[in-house]
Structure formats: C-alpha cells, structure tokens
Structure 1
Amino acid sequence: MPDFHQPILLPTLHHLAEPPLEEREALLLRVSAKRPIALVIPVLYNELEREALPHILRQLSKVPYLSRVVFSMNGMDEERHHLAKKFFARRLRQIPHQILWNDGPELDPLHQEIQRHHPVNHQHGKGSNVWMAIAALNASGHHGVIACHDADILNYHREMLWRLCMPVVHPDMNYLFAKSYYGRVRERIYGRVTRLLVFPLIQALREIFGSTPLLRCLAMFRYPLSGEFAADSRFLSSLAVAPDWGLEIGMLCDVFRHAPPQTVCQVDLGSNYEHKHQHLQYHPDTGEPDARSGLMRMAREVSLTLLTHLWTDLGFAAETRKLDRLADAYEETAQILLQRYAHEALFNGLEHVMKEEQQAVTVFSRMLKQLVLQIHKHPPSLHALPSYAEITAADPTFATRLGTALNPDA
C-alpha cells in the first residue's frame, strides 16, 4: 500500500499512481509556456565515459518541455572541453544546451573575483558549479523554474524529472522549492551518510539544544542529502551555496530561512535510485579510516555545515560546552538505528552488513569529537558562496560580465 503520511510542517507529494507519461509531459509543456523550465546538471568529465550519463541524455532527449540544459563542469583542458561539446551536441540535438567550463579562461576569473571579495574555500566542485549555473541562467534572463539533478543516476527515467518540476511550475501548486526523496536499496541498504550520520546527528542536536525551528524542519526531510531539487529561479538566486559536500544540507538550511511556510515540499521520485556509492577507505599504513577519502570528507563537510548553520541561528557561543555531549548523544541514537536497519534487512531478505555499519558509526563519532574540538578553538562561520542576488546587488556589472564570459564571440 503506498505511503501517504503528511507531516504538517512539510508538504509531501507521494508516488501514489502511474499517470500516463505523455499526458504529464504535455501538461508541463503547457504550464511552462509562462514559466520556462531549465535543467542544471553538474558533471565530472569522467562521467562522459561512464554508463549513467549517456543513458540520462537519451532520456532527456525525449523531454518536450525543457527550455535549456546547463552542464556545469570543471577539471578540463581545451581538448576535453572540445570533446565535451561534441559529446553533448550529438546526444541533445533537439534541446538547447550549454557547457559551463568553470575553471576555463572565461569563467575562472569570475570565480576568483568572488573569492577575493567573499573569502571562502572556493574550490571548483559540485557546489561552485551549481552556483555558477544558477548565476548563468539568471544572467541570461531565465525567469521560471530551475531543476537540478546529478549525472550518475544509473536507472534514470524522464518520469523523475516531471515529478521533480511539477510542484514548482504548476500554477495550482506554485511551491518555491521542491526537494526529492527516494530509496537507496539494491542487495543492501545504501545511503549511509544520510542514515547513519545525518539522521542521528539531527536527533542528537535536538536533544542537546532543543527542537529548534531549523532542526524540526530538517528532521521532516526524508532524504536531506539528495542531489535533486527544483526551485523558482528568483528564489534560488537568493540562496547562498556551499561550495563543497555541504551543498545539500546547507541549501535546506537557507531554504528554511528564506521560504515562507508551506512553500517548500518534498517529492517522492520512486524507490531504489542507483547512484555511485561512496565507501569507507582505510589508510594502508595505519589501517584507520582515511579522513581524506570521499565518504569521510563528505561526512565531515556535511556535519560542519549543519553545525555552522545551527551556530548562526542560535548564537550558541556561550553554550559551546554543550557540544561536548554531541558525539555520545549521536552514538546513542545511531546504535538504536543500527538495530532497526538490521531488522529492515532481515525482514526484506537483504544483505546483512551490521559490522560494516557499526564501523561507520564509530568513525563518524570520532569525526564529530574532532569537529567539536575544532569549534572550541575556532568558532565556525558560514562557509558558502554568497547568493547571486547579493553578488549583483554589490556589483551591478557582474551579470553583464558573466554574460560576456559565456558568449565571448557575441
């Protein structure tokens, strides 16, 4: 039986039926005539050589309602940039599309300028790529809806896109922001950073600092680290963007601050999304989890972003010693969830990985203790690229210069 539970504070749109795809897409084509829909996909160059992205493009090539697709990339040279343009041109002949070369000669100077005026650890990556895509669409005069999803979804279907965009573009719903959720299950339950870190961390923070409005809001989201969202373009231009793995949780915190109540929803995109999985990696000499590995780096940056937003909201500088309880409170909750996930696996006949998940909780707890020590020494400040609206308010020429950089031959 489909789930139809409605949290009062967060409208939730469930996957209850399978309406005809062509009918749904025709509806979006009609309503997007007044509010065009653009799609942003942050892409690593090596995704061009993997299975997922060509499949995604085959699906997108059939979508009738997209006004533009923006691929935001970095880590290329001239040759790879040329190959990327040919790659996308062959596969999206019918849909206008654009490649942003973020560390290329046109856009990198603008990134560096932002870094000089708004110092953050601005490394080219997913967060800064998403930021520049939002800026590029706003600078080009796009006023409507901007959707974003990852480039590594192996079982992508274009049905996911209409479900993501519908709540924002349809005039009878008219949400400002829609966040996706879905299952991450194959032979085992995945989504470990969300399940084993973020969920128990939010609960631990609520126990320590009380159920603040921000924490209560975040606790409602079923997949706060999902990479898929759709938003009103003007609203999106008012949000700061974390340049690192804190992108998703930081965006939800900023959405909480800027969006009026009941203008944000979460959308069920279906079960068993198949993404690239991050794994714990161990240092070859010590045998300890490598703090520089993808999973641990993600866990640390997500945790720091969340704690910094909570710090900013509460101003709890005088109560930092409460954070000394954080790792223990986190681990108590995580242990309860570990047992429940073990029962989920047993109930559904899935692979049982209790030992591996226990190791993840142990290293996450250790990471949180180190993070608290760091906060005691250096109180955190928001680590995010300022919103596009803030940049253009401070420098009205930015949009024009960005437009020139995007169209150097115009």
Structure 2
Amino acid sequence: MEYVQERVTTLHALTDHRPAAPTGRAAVVVPMTEREYGTLAADRVLTALETVDPARVVVPLRAAPDRVGPFADWLDGFDVDVETLWCGGPRLTELLASRGLDGSRGKGRDVWLGLGRALDEEFVVVHDADTKTYSPAFVSRLLFPLANDHEFSKGYYARVEDNSLYGRLFRLFFRPLVRALGDATERREPSIMEYLDAFRYALAGEFAATTDLVSRCRIQRGWGLEVGTLGEAFAHAGFAESAQVDLGRYEHDHRSVDGPTGLADMSRAVGAATLRAVEGAGVAVEYDALADRYREAAERLIRGYETDAAFNGLDYDRAAEREQVETYADALGEPGPDTRLPAWRTAPVTPSEVADAAQADLAAARESHADAAARPPEESDRRQSAEEAPETGTGED
C-alpha cells in the first residue's frame, strides 16, 4: 500500500471508504455487444448500478437485428433508467452516412454515440460490462475528483490473475512505447509523454469526465479509444485538472495475442492513436528509429516485471513476453489517415437525431422479432430454409 502522487492527482484506495459523489447528476455509459446478453458479469454490473442510482444509464449496443429486441427487453428488466442505443440499425446508419460520418465501426464509435446521449447530464462515467469484480463504488470513485475541481478522471488497477501478470498490452506495448518516445524527445513543458506516462493503467476502459469536456473531445472509432481519450484530455484538461483513481481488484476477459480480435490487432490501433496524440501535441516522431527504441525500453521493463513477479511468487515467462514485444514492434509506424469522430460540440448531427433514429430502429427490430415469433413453426422453418439456401448460378459443380 502506498500513497505516491504522480504528475496527475492520484487517489488511492487506502481504506474501504466509498466517497460521496454526484451520482444523481451523472450518466453511466456501458457499451455492450450481443455476447454480454444475460451474462453473469453484465447482470452484476447492472444490478450494482441499481444501487448507484445514476441519472441514467446509456447502453450503446452492437448486436444483430434478431438479437436486439430480446437484449433490450432484458435491459428493461433492471430497476434503473436504461436507454438502449442500437448502434447498427438501418436508420441510424443512413443518418450518419448522410452527414459524412460513415466509416468503420468499433467500440469507440459505439461509445461516441453513447456520449452524445449523456450530454444532458453534468457528468458522465464510461466503463465496460465484462467485469467479474464490479463494485458500485467504482462509479463513486471515478466521479469524486469531478466534484473536487477536476474535469477528467481515469481508473487504474493491477491485473494479477491466475498467478500471473496480465495487462499485457499496457505493460509490454504502451508503456515502453511512451518511454521510447520520451527518451527521444527534447523535454518541453507540459509534455504529453509525461502525461501519458503518469497514468498507471492508461489502457483501462474506465473513466469519468464533465460533459463539457466530453463535448470537446474527438473520439477514436475502435480500439484506440482509451489512449485517444487521454490525448484529448491532455489538450482540454491537462495535468492540473486530471486525476486517476484506484479501483482495487479488477478482473475481466482476456484476449489471445493472435487472431482477428487479438492483442496484435489491438496494438496497431493503440499505437496509431498514441502516435497521433503525440504528433497532435507538436512532437516530431523519428519513425526510423522508433522500433529499436521501443524494444530497448521494453527489455528494461521486462527485467523489472520478472523481478516483481518473482518477489510475489508469481509465474513469469520471459521468453513469451519478449515474443510479444516483437509482435507489437511490427505495429509501429506512421498512424495513417485521421478517422476520428468529431467533437459533439461541432458534430454535423445532434444527439436527439441519433436517439430518434436508434429508437425507430429498435422499435422496428422488436416488431420484426414479435412477428417472427408469432408465425407458425412450419412457416418460420420454410422462410429460414429459403434464406439460408445459396443463390443459384454462383457456385461450382
């Protein structure tokens, strides 16, 4: 247990005290996908939010049309004001495309839509729904700094599970990347690298902010959401108005390194968002030397992780950690086109337009689901068989 202060205000869980916080003036945004439907983790989160009693809960939902209605019905069963915002409906998709906001979809896009719906409140809290150790104290802890002269706060926690260190993308990619960038940059005040380095778990998905700050933030569309948000917080809140809070024990789902939704893919988005934030703050990045500097910084950190793991009697596979570093090094390069979504303050669409389109999409999906459920089984089977049959004339004999 310690109480060291970083460059940003750092609030520690030294006791079990649950601080008073303005939960009744806050919206909680909880992005979900259809895999969260009915899970114990999501149920625990929503049941806990019943005791928090925020002004509202916004659930940006990514799900197939035939799953949306049952999912929304399930959400309506909790004793908390939930707005289900279906992010993939045809009316909403057409609305965004007509305003020049079409493009790739991901968690960041879903959260951006949810943040727009939260702007009617004074504060907003964002967190995931896959947390196995969720506590209602998380919302209070994240909001507490906002009631005490800060505009932005971020959660942090230790990822120690199964007798091993997790948080691999943060430990082995983000932190050494920021250190490498800082080592190669002439110090200027304020430094965005020092800001990013001050957060103990910069890739945590849990944060809170005033809605005034949120309205000024551009949002990454995908996995770069967390670090992209930090870049915007640096620009609009800076060191003085930022804080991080200890959320204690925290367990959630793990990802493999490889695969279409693995950490290697995530590292590309996180790296691009980090480098875009750094360049946006006026730092010139030497890309030719970046990978080697990153490897050197990662190797120094790996030695520290190995010693820390041994000190605590944890398992540690140094070769596997080094292998991940090499995988992540391949993700380093110029960030490419800026596809961030605009700040809501200047967006070419309003939150009410988004709500109207999403609500109409949800109502239509529910009606379609009810019609399908009311059809005789033999009719449903015939329709399903016809829909699943391949188009004629396109296959090979």
Q: Please tell me the TM-score bracket, short chain as reference.
A: 0.7 to 0.9
How much has 1:45 moved relative to structure 2?
Answer: 0.6
Is contact 2:165-2:316 (8 Å) kept? no
How many equivalent residue pairs? 358
2:142 to 157, 164, 170: 164
How much has 1:381 moved relative to structure 2?
Answer: 4.1
Distance 1:148 1:226, change over 3 A: same
Matched, 1:232 2:210: yes
Match of 2:320 in 1: 356
Match of 1:309 in 2: 277
1:390 to 338, 342, 346: 346
Whole-Å separation in 1 of the counterparts to 2:180 and 2:238:
27
Match of 1:246 in 2: 224
Match of 1:4 in 2: 3
TM-score where L is the length of structure 2: 0.85
Distance 1:83 1:211, change over 3 A: farther
Is contact 2:150-2:243 (8 Å) kept? yes
Q: 1:135-174 maps to which residues of 2 (within 5 A)? A: 135-138=116-119, 142-168=120-146, 170=147, 173-174=148-149
Is contact 2:27-2:121 (8 Å) kept? no
1:181 to 156, 181, 185: 156
Matched, 1:202 2:178: yes
How much has 1:404 moved relative to structure 2?
Answer: 2.9
Is contact 2:291-2:329 (8 Å) kept? yes
Q: Which amino acid aligns with 1:275?
A: H
2:59 to 55, 59, 71: 71
Whole-Å separation in 2 of the counterparts to 1:161 and 1:32:
7
Match of 1:107 in 2: 92
Q: Of the two, which has the highest radius of gyration? A: 2
Q: Which runs of 5+ in 1 are unaligned?
A: 282-289
TM-score where L is the length of structure 1: 0.82
Distance 1:260 1:305, change over 3 A: closer
Is contact 1:40-1:70 (8 Å) kept? yes
Q: Deviations over 1:276-318 (max 9, x none)?
A: 111122xxxxxxxx5x4421111111001111222233263xx
Three-state SS of the structure 2 residue aligned to 1:266 is strand
Match of 2:82 in 1: 97
Three-state SS of the structure 1 residue aligned to 2:182 is helix
Q: Which amino acid aligns with 1:196?
A: L
How much has 1:58 moved relative to structure 2?
Answer: 2.2
The alignment yields a C-alpha RMSD, in angstroms, of: 2.0
Three-state SS of the structure 2 residue aligned to 1:12 is strand
Q: 1:324-343 maps to which residues of 2 (within 5 A)? A: 324-343=288-307
Matched, 1:278 2:278: no
Q: Which amino acid aligns with 2:32?
A: V
The percent identity for this pair of structures is 30
How much has 1:339 moved relative to structure 2?
Answer: 1.4
Matched, 1:346 2:346: no
Q: Which amino acid aligns with 1:98?
A: E
How much has 1:162 moved relative to structure 2?
Answer: 1.2
How much has 1:146 moved relative to structure 2?
Answer: 0.5
Three-state SS of the structure 2 residue aligned to 1:223 is coil
Following superposition, which runs of at least 4 residues in structure 1 exceed 6 angstroms of deviation? Answer: none
Is contact 1:45-1:76 (8 Å) kept? yes
